[in-house]
A and B are shown apart, each in its own frame.
Chain A
Amino acid sequence: MTIVCVGNRWRSDDGVGLAVAARLRERGLEPVEREGEPVGILDALEGASAAVVVDAVSSGADPGTVHVLDASRHPLPASLFAHSTHHLGLGEALELARALGRLPERTLVVGIEGASWDAGDGLSPAVAAAVERAVEEVERCTSGR
């Protein structure tokens, strides 16, 4: 199972994927970090039969809400990434992978609802508080529970 954590730590809550990566490493997992650049994401997924991708999302839910979505069969709702600060959103990168036949057979997305996307480092309190729950969801995904 490949774990890809996507984030830009200089865009406030958009950095939450990297905060999750740091916690996962402390717990003995080996996530790959990406800044959201689509080729980098495609590369990270290459050859994997199963993957969990962690990223910040913006769907209008309460900040800190942790979404778990299955992208294996269907595209992610476009509305989730209305505020992504990556050049092409994660949704687009995964759809590109699907169109090229490079999407892992099982692809799960753990999305953490962000509040602020302004330039600057540091997470909003509600988002920082969600890191632990996101880590648990990633572990649940990787253990197949």
Chain B
Amino acid sequence: MAETQTKTIVTEYLARVEGEGGMRVRIDEGRVSDVQLQIYEPPRFFEAFLRGRRFTEAPDITARICGICPVAYQMSAVHAMERICGVEVGGQLRALRRLLYCGEWIESHALHVFMLHAPDFLGYESAIEIARDNPALVARALDLKKTGNQVMTVVGGREVHPINVRVGGWYRTPRKRELQALVEPLERARDLSLEAVRFAAGLPFPDYTRDYELVALSQPGEYPIDLGRIVSSEGIDIDVSEYEQFFEEEHVPWSNALHSRVIGRGSYLCGPLARFALSYDRLGALARGAASEVGLEPSERNPFKSIVVRSVELVEACDEALRLIREYEEPDEPAVEVEPRAGVGHGCTEAPRGILWHRYEIDDEGTILDAKIVPPTSQNQKAIEDDLRNVVERSLHLPDEELRLRCEQTIRNYDPCISCATHFLKLEVERT
């Protein structure tokens, strides 16, 4: 008779995940009986904090939720407020928003591809170890990220938390020559991104695919970044204001973040893999060419290959930023006048790790009465757990330490941004 055995593997600190959380996997007689991704993020502090504040303050307050994707928070917030007030921000004011967003994608993807995710594939503990063995690789990553920072500084006024964004547009719009100064670094970054695609495609990938319901924004004629309808691979095609009719959140006892699901169906996936699959035809020729050169198809469903897709999106973000700069004309006014009026409005944009949805209610004076924010990581949380379950079941033959690393790698496929609190993830695998 087989001896019953209990094994527990614990990782005290998982440094390459943004936020504070843990994971617990329980294995009974060769089957995974329970998977919990535990998120200890202070629950919804910001939604309460927003109530009673001015509608114009939402972009700056919500930007503080995350040091990695503040632009996503600002953009979803300004869109929601502008919808309530019946204002549309178009032309060059909108183009600048898309340009700022490209800067954030470059910063975030460069950080994740090289510093956070690549060590998993290369067998390193951290990017610092890679830097010791291959300083040129890390130097290129830092160079790329620096270009993202430069875009953020010129357009957003600061490299991390932009201060130039407002409801209706901008406090100040850049001069043409200021944007011109970004051309040379962006051209270099575009070349580095093309190298990144080849680098990422050459990594060893676990053999794993899953038939996800993919959810992303969709906008005719352009790759989804700052605007669009919400669409899915199972036929959802809705205005962002209809989100709550198709998606719901449930509380699970082991996590402070709410779990999102498609009503009547279950988990779904948002982020690079979803965008790439659903808007492949809208990628620029350069990014599409880079993908096809390494054999990356829109039908790709291996989540470990998200690192390749992120690299393709780096090419797209650099290329798109260059296009926006080429076509830039200085606007007459930095912003459209926005008068508050009572109502409810929604905004949704593509944060680097997936769709970020906001809903606000304001009164006639412009005071925020209610706020709801659904970040991409809570939308992906259920898909992460489903992946962990499948990956662990296929990898039970691995020694505990390798299994733990494979679990961590699986979580990092999603570039989870649990919060911008501490970098703490406790990982437990229990075998009986």
Contacts and interface: CB of A to CB of B under 8 A. Distances in A.
Partners in one complex: yes
A87 interface: yes
Interface in A54-86: 82-86
Interface residues of B, number: 31
A43 B148 CA distance: 13
Interface stretch (A19-27, A31-39, A136-144): A31-39
A40 to B, nearest CB: 6
A86 B420 CA distance: 7
B203 to A, nearest CB: 21
Nearest to A94: B128
B149 A86 contact: no
B128 to A, nearest CB: 5
Interface stretch (B88-96, B139-147, B262-270): B139-147
A35 B138 contact: no
B138 A40 contact: no
A88 interface: yes
What does DSSP make chain A's interface, helix, strand, loop or mixed?
Answer: loop
A89 B160 contact: no
Contacts of A40: 149, 159-160
B398 interface: no
Interface in B261-310: none
B335 interface: no
Contacts of A11: 420
A133 B427 CA distance: 40
Contacts of A39: 142, 145-146, 149
Contact of A10 (B64, B138, B142): B64
A37 B160 contact: yes
A83 B115 contact: no
B134 to A, nearest CB: 10
Contacts of A43: 146, 149
B135 A99 contact: yes
Interface in B58-101: 64, 67-68
A117 B421 contact: yes
Nearest to A89: B423
B138 A100 contact: yes
A37 B420 CA distance: 12
B128 A92 contact: yes
Nearest to B60: A10
B23 interface: no
A119 B132 contact: no
Contacts of A84: 422-423
Contact of B67 (A37, A92, A117): A37
B40 interface: no
Contacts of B126: 92
A37 B132 contact: no
Contacts of A89: 423
Interface of B: 15, 18, 42, 45-46, 49, 64, 67-68, 111, 115, 126-128, 131-132, 135, 138-139, 142, 145-146, 149, 159-161, 420-424
Q: Which 5 A-B pairs have the closest CB atoms?
A: A99-B131, A35-B160, A10-B64, A95-B128, A99-B132
Given A85-B420, A92-B15, A95-B128, 11 more contacts: A35-B67, A35-B161, A37-B67, A39-B142, A43-B146, A89-B423, A92-B126, A92-B128, A100-B138, A101-B135, A119-B42
13 contacts: A42-B142, A43-B149, A83-B422, A84-B422, A85-B421, A86-B67, A88-B15, A92-B15, A96-B131, A100-B135, A117-B422, A119-B42, A119-B45
